[in-house]
């Protein structure tokens, strides 16, 4: 890699994508398109289902915001990737402007950070529902849910803007070729002419705020929940209470596990092609899994989806009337 003295302020970057695999691109395009359409359909179905519920419990409001985040999350990355795969003869890759790259990274981090905070808010909701059931309705009101949702968005936006400004103030060397299909943080840091760990501190700070602090809140919530469940004498009651947390726990492990594995590590361990493959999974597969996890485990969302499908599908309508 070039020395920092040869660094330049780039007019733009080149996203390599999967241009080095021309024979694989049609298959990858069809596969990503199918997954993308399924992801959009699943999250849109949850949004419509929640909107059709007259009286929405707080958990459904949080779930609605989670689906909206996943919907935007995949739209930030996947449509451009599909367009690049469908465009023949790009040579080394697809050009993206300096500003376009910065906007894409900022939106990606903002949505991911908002989801981190939202999962902590959902853990608090489960804590109140299980540990303080008598005060739950009085404390966790729709107004509180809206304030928590707004705080999650502002938190993710603030951290993303700070991290984007810090990353794009770094000097970049070489050909400005990003071995990636979108402007991910690791790909940009790998391209930056940095030899000091000081330049990686903004990413470390963002990880502390977006990953460590919410995860501590989630752990504290579930520690209190585990203590409350251990005091229940009825095994049926323990199972019912624990089952309401299962979907949230699975989504939390998926989100925090992927984010921690990808971003909480030094630059020396970056491997562009390996990171690109992992990013392909967590930007396409995990957003598809979230609607499936919640629709299978949450009775309220399952009932709401059935009502929506009953309006659209004649067979479902007849089954419900029967």
Whole-number Cα distances in Å, 59 to 94, 128, 151, 307: 41, 11, 16, 18
Burial of residue 195 (number of CB atoms within 10 Å: 0-12, 13-18, 19+): exposed
Q: Are 322 and 310 in contact (CB under 8 A)?
A: no
Over residues 119-128, the pLDDT tens digits come to: 999 999 999 9
With cut-offs at 50, 70 and 90, classify the pLDDT of residue 322: very low
pLDDT averaged over every residue in the chain: 84
Confidence (pLDDT) at 85: 87
Tokens of residue 223, six digits: 């520690």
Q: Are 270 and 189 in contact (CB under 8 A)?
A: yes
- Sign (positive/negative) of CA torsion 237, 216, 66, 78? negative
Residue 164, helix vs strand vs coil: helix
pTM of the shown model: 0.87
Over residues 160-205, the pLDDT tens digits come to: 999 999 889 888 876 788 989 999 998 888 888 876 666 677 888 8
Confidence (pLDDT) at 305: 76
Over residues 54-91, the pLDDT tens digits come to: 777 888 888 889 989 999 989 999 999 999 888 876 66
CA-only gyration radius of the chain, Å: 22
């Amino acid at each position: 890699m070039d020395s920092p003295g040869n660094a330049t302020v780039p007019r733009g970057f080149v996203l390599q994508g999967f241009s080095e695999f021309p024979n694989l691109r049609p298959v990858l395009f069809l596969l990503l398109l199918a997954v993308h359409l399924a992801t959009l359909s699943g999250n849109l179905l949850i949004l419509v289902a929640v909107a059709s519920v007259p009286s929405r419990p707080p958990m459904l409001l949080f779930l609605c915001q989670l689906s909206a985040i996943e919907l935007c999350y995949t739209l930030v990355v996947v449509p451009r990737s599909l367009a690049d795969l469908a465009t023949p003869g790009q040579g080394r890759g697809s050009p993206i402007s300096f500003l376009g790259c910065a906007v894409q990274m900022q939106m990606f981090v903002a949505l991911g950070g908002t989801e981190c905070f939202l999962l902590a808010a959902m853990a608090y909701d489960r804590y109140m529902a299980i540990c303080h059931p008598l005060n739950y309705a009085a404390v966790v009101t729709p107004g509180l849910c809206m304030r928590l949702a707004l705080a999650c968005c502002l938190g993710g936006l603030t951290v993303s803007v700070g991290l984007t400004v810090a990353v794009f103030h770094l000097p970049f060397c070489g050909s400005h070729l990003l071995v990636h299909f979108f402007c991910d943080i690791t790909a940009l840091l790998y391209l930056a002419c940095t030899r000091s760990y000081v330049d990686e501190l903004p990413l470390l700070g963002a990880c502390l705020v977006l990953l460590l602090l919410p995860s501590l809140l989630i752990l504290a919530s579930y520690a209190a929940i585990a203590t409350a469940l251990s005091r229940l004498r009825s095994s049926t009651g323990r199972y019912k209470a624990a089952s309401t947390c299962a979907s949230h726990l699975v989504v939390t492990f998926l989100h925090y596990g992927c984010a921690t594995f990808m971003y909480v590590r030094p630059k020396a361990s970056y491997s562009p092609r390996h990171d690109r493959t992992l990013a392909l999974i967590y930007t396409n597969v995990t957003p598809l899994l979230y609607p499936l996890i919640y629709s299978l485990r949450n009775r309220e969302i399952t009932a709401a989806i059935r009502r929506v499908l009953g309006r659209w599908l004649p067979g479902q309508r007849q089954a419900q009337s029967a």
